[in-house]
Amino acid sequence: MSAPTAAPTAAPAALTLRNVTKKYGALVAVDDVSLEVAKGGRHALIGPNGAGKSTLFNLVAGGLPTTSGQILFAGDDVTKRSAAWRARRGLGKTFQHSSLFLSMNPLDNVALAAQRVAGKGMSWVTSSGRRNSEIDDLAEQCVADVGLTDRSHIMTGNLSHGERRQLEVAVALATRPKLLLLDEPAAGMSPAESQRFIELVRSLPSDLTVVIIEHDLELVFQLADRVSVLHLGGLIADGPADEVREDPAVQQAYLGEGSLEELFHETPVPPDLPVSTTSAAPTEEVAG
Amino acid sequence: MKPKLSSALAVLSVLLLVAVPLVFPADIANTLSRVLALALLAVSLDLLVGVSGMPSLGHAAPFGVGAYAAALVARDTTSFAPVPLLVAVVAGGLFALLTGVLMVRTKGTYFLMLTLAIAELAHVLAQRWEGLTGGTNGLYGIPSLTLAPGGEPVTLAGVRYWWILLIFLIGFAIVWWTSRSMLGRSLRGLRDNEERMASIGYSTFWLKLAVYGIAGGVAGAAGSLWVAQNRFVSPEDLAFEVSAMALLAVVVGGRGRLWGAVLGAALVTIVRDDIGASLGGRGPLLLGLVFIAAVYLLPHGFAGTNWRQLFTRRPQEDKA
C-alpha cells in the first residue's frame, strides 16, 4: 500500500484519499489512489490522456460513486455524500467544459451561488430584483476578483471562452469554498488568457486550498507546490513539484524514451514527440 | 420595455378587465370568466415550463383535483366563495406535492411522460370513483357562490366575473412574485443548468418539489374558478385535452413570460370554444393550425418576440 508521504501537519489535511478505486466492469479507471492535500496548498494532479484524472475529479466532487476507498474532506468522511452536500461543506469546483447559467448575466450567475451561501436559495419573501447587500456585495466582489466587472451585465451566452472560464471561477468562489477543484482550467485558452488565469489563481487567498487537474505542464509548474502524477489509473509520483520534475517514472510515463529537458523546460520540442506545450507554432517554420 | 411603461400597461389592462361587465353584455363576461380560469392554469404551468424548465403534459390533474374539491365543498358544506377556493388550493397543492415526490426525481422527457401518466390516472379515477365524483356524469347542481357566509347566491354574471378576476389577479401576482424572488432566480438556474445548481450546493429535489407544489396550488385555484363559473365538473375537465391546451397556451404566449401565457390562454379558449363552435365542431382542427402557425412564425411566442425588430427587419430582407 502506498502510504501518503505528505509532511505531517497539526490540522487534518484539506483532502485525503484512502485507497480510492473506481472500476467500470473490468476496466479500472482509478486504481487504489491514496494522497493528501495540505490545507492552503496548491496541489496539481497531472497525467497523460486517459490516466484517470477526470474520473478522480468526479469522485472527489461527488459526481461519481467510488467502487471502494474513502474520501475525507477536512477529516470528515464524505465518500457517500452527494455533490450538493460536499458543496455546502465548502468544496468549490469548476468544470472542464464551462457549466454556467447562459440565459443570465454574469452577476446573476454568481448571485445564485451567493444566495445559496446566505441561506436564501429557496427564499420566497426576498426579491431578487431589489438590492440585498449580503448577496450582491459578495457577487460583485467575486466578479471583480476574476476581472469581469466590465462584462457583468452582458448575457453569459455572449461571453468569450476565456471569460466563461473566469466566470466559472467567480461562481465557485462565491460558494465560499475551503477547497477549490479546477478541472483543466486552461483547456482551450489562448496563451494570453492562460497567463491571466495563472495570475488569477495566484491572487486567491492563501488559506484556500486549490487542487488543479491539468494537462498543460507549463501552467502546472508555475502554480503548484505539490504535484501528484497519475498513470493508467494509478499514482506513480506524489511530492513537491521540484522532486516530481526529476522523477524518472514520470518521465517514462509522459515521454517514453524522451528526455526530461524536453518535458519540463521550454526547449523546442521535436514535432514527432506526442507531448507539446501551448507554444507550438508551426507557421513560423514555414516562414523560415 | 421600460419598467414605467410596462407597469402603466399592466394597470391599464387591469382597469379594462374590471370595466368589462359595465360595458358589455353578460355572455362576454361569462366567456372572459372561463378565459381567466384557464389563463390562471396556463400561468401556473408557465411557472413550471418557462421559469423552471419542467415541461408538464399533466397540469390538468391538479386543476381537476381543485375543481372537484371546490365542487364538493360548495355542494355539501358551504358555497361562501373563499372556502371552496382555499380547499381547492390545498387539494391541488397537496396532490402536486404527493405525486411530485416521485416525479421531480426525473427530468426532461421522462418527467413529461410521468406527468402525462399521472394525469391519465387521475382522469380514470374521476370516471370510476362514482361515489365521490359522480363518474362520467360528473358533479352537477353545484350552488352559485355567495360573497357572504350564508348570504344570497350571486346571480349576476358581472359580479361572478369580478370575483374570478380578483382571484386570477391574486394568483397571477403570486406566480409573478415567485419568479421574481430569490427562489425564482434559483428556479431559472435549474432551467439553465441543473447539474451546476447541485455543484454549488443546491438541493435540486427540494427546489423542484417546491415549485411543483406552488404550481399545483395555483392550478387548484384555477380549478375552483372553473367550477364557480360552470357550476359543473366532469372527468373531461382533467382530460389530456385540458393539459395540452394549457401547454399550447404557454408555448403560443411565450415560455417564461407570464403575461404571454394569459394571452395564449385567451387565444386558445376563444379559438376552440367560440370560433370553433361556429365551424361545426372543427375547433380542434383550427387550434392545430393556429399551433403550427405560431411555432413557425413566432418560435418564441407572443411575449418572446421582438416585434420592433421583426417589423424593421422585413423590408431589408425584401431588398436583398
Q: What are the backbone angles phi and psi of residue B242, rounded to the nearest 5°?
A: -70, -45
Residue numbers of the domain that contains A247: 1-86+216-288
| B180/A128 touch (CB, cutoff 8 Å), yes or no | yes
Rounded Cα–Cα distance for residues B31 and B44 (Å):
20
Output DSSP code: residue B181: B
Which residues, 6 or more positions from A254, have their beta carbon under 8 angstroms from its beta carbon?
A48, A263, A275
Which segments of A31-160 does DSSP mark as H helices, in order? 53-61, 83-88, 106-117, 133-145
pLDDT category of residue A111 using cuts at 50, 70 and 90: very high
Q: What stretch of H or E contains A234?
A: strand A234-240
pLDDT of residue B315: 47
A137 pLDDT more than 60: yes
Dihedral angle, C-alpha B177, B178, B180, B182, nearest 10 °: 130
Considering the domain boundaries, does residue A94 fall inside one?
Answer: no
How would residue B27 be classed by pLDDT, with cut points 50, 70 and 90? confident
For residue A119, tell me if it sits in a domain: no
Give Dmax over CA atoms of chain B in angstroms: 70
Which residues in B have their CB inside 8 Å of a CB on A?
177-178, 180-186, 188-189, 191-193, 195-204, 206-207, 210
Chain B residues near residue A169 by CB distance under 8 angstroms: none
Interchain CB distance below 8 Å, A83 and B184: no
* B202–A121 C-beta distance less than 8 A: yes
Three-state DSSP class for residue A72? strand
Chain A contacts of B185, Cβ < 8 Å? 108, 111-112, 115, 128
Q: Chain A residue with minimal CA distance to B202?
A: A84
Q: Please answer yes or no on whether B201 and A123 come within 8 Å at the CB atom.
A: no
pLDDT in tens, B157-186: 888 999 999 999 999 999 999 999 999 999
- pLDDT given at position B43: 96
Residue-level pLDDT at A281:
41
pLDDT at residue A182 is higher than 80:
yes
Helix, strand or coil, per DSSP, at residue A125 = coil
pLDDT of residue A240: 87
Question: What's the rounded Cα separation, in Å, for the pair B260 and B255?
Answer: 8
pLDDT of res. B277:
75
Count of alpha carbons within 13 angstroms of residue B137, beta-carbon side: 7
| Cβ-Cβ contacts under 8 Å for B17 (sequence gap 6 or more) | B32, B165
According to the model, what pLDDT value does residue A170 have?
Answer: 92
Provide the pLDDT confidence category of residue A282 given band limits of 50, 70 and 90: very low
**Residue B113 domain flag:** yes
Across the strands, what pairs with A35? A17
Q: Which residue has the higher pLDDT, A12 or B121?
A: B121
Answer whether residue A182 is part of any domain: no
Residues of A in contact with B189 (CB under 8 A): 101, 104, 112
Asked if residue A257 has pLDDT above 70, the reply is: no
Indicate the average pLDDT of chain B. 88
Q: What is the per-residue DSSP string for B52-82?
A: T----S-THHHHHHHHHHHHHHHHHT--BTH
Proportion of chain B above pLDDT 90, given as a percent: 55
Domain that includes residue B149, residue range = 20-239
Q: Is A112 inside a domain boundary?
A: no
**Shortest Cα distance from A85 to chain B (angstroms)?**
6
> How close, in Å, is residue B187 to chain A by CA atoms?
9
Considering its fold, how many domains does chain B have in total? 1
According to DSSP, the residues that pair with A17 across neighbouring strands are A35, A71
Shortest CA gap A96–chain B (Å):
12
Q: What pLDDT does B1 receive?
A: 56
Q: Which residue has the higher pLDDT, B206 or A131?
A: B206
What nine digits make up the cell of B293?
402557425
What is the rounded radius of gyration, in angstroms, for the C-alpha atoms of chain B? 20
Interface test with B, best of A124, A127, A182 (most B CBs within 10 A): A124
**Looking at residue B112, what is its pLDDT?**
92
Query: Is residue B147 situated within a structural domain?
Result: yes
User: Of A92, A97, A182, A139, nearest to B201 (Cα)?
Assistant: A92
Specify if B177 maps to a domain.
Answer: yes
For chain A, what's the residue count?
Answer: 288
Q: Does the structure show a pLDDT above 80 at A268?
A: no
Q: How close is the nearest chain B Cα to the Cα of A29, in Å?
A: 23
pLDDT greater than 80 at residue A275: no
In this prediction, residue A269 carries a pLDDT of: 46
Q: How far apart are CA A250 and CA A258, in angstroms?
A: 11
Rounded to two decimals, the pTM is: 0.84
Q: What is the pLDDT of residue A133?
A: 84
Indicate whether B209 belongs to any domain. Answer: yes
Given a contact cutoff of 8 angstroms between Cβ atoms, the answer to whether B114 and B96 are in contact is no
* Residue A91 banded pLDDT, cuts 50, 70, 90: very high
Q: Which residue do the cell numbers 413557425 mark?
A: B296
CATH assignment of the domain containing A260: 3.40.50.300
Mean pLDDT of chain A: 82
- Which chain A residues are closer than 8 Å to B179 by Cβ? none
The pLDDT tens digits of the residues spanning B72-95 come to 999 888 888 899 999 999 999 999
B198: chain A residues, CB-CB within 8 Å = 82-84, 87
Q: Residue A37 falls within a domain, yes or no? A: yes
Probe site for chain A from B199, B205, B209 (most A CB atoms < 10 A): B199
∠ CA(B144), CA(B66), CA(B108), 5° rounding?
150
Q: How much is the pLDDT for B135?
A: 83
> Across-strand partners of A240?
A226
Q: Is residue A75 in some structural domain?
A: yes
- Running DSSP on this structure, what letter comes out for residue B237? G
The chain A residue lying nearest B189, using CA atoms, is A101
Q: State the pLDDT at residue B175.
A: 96
- Cβ contacts of B197 on chain A, cutoff 8 Å: 112
**Minimum CA–CA partner of B205 in chain A:** A84
Query: In chain A, what percentage of residues exceed pLDDT 70?
Result: 84
The predicted model gives B214-242 an average pLDDT of 93
Q: Look up residue A110 and give its amino acid.
A: V
From the list A117, A121, A124, which residue is nearest B178 (CB)?
A124
Number of structural domains found in chain A = 1
Does B14 reside within a domain?
A: no
Residue B196 lies in a domain: yes
- Please write the tens of the pLDDT for every residue from A43-59: 999 888 778 888 999 99
Q: Is the Cβ–Cβ distance between A45 and A211 less than 8 Å?
A: yes
Q: Which three cell numbers stand for residue A275?
A: 507531448
Q: How far is A116 from chain B (nearest CA, A)?
A: 7
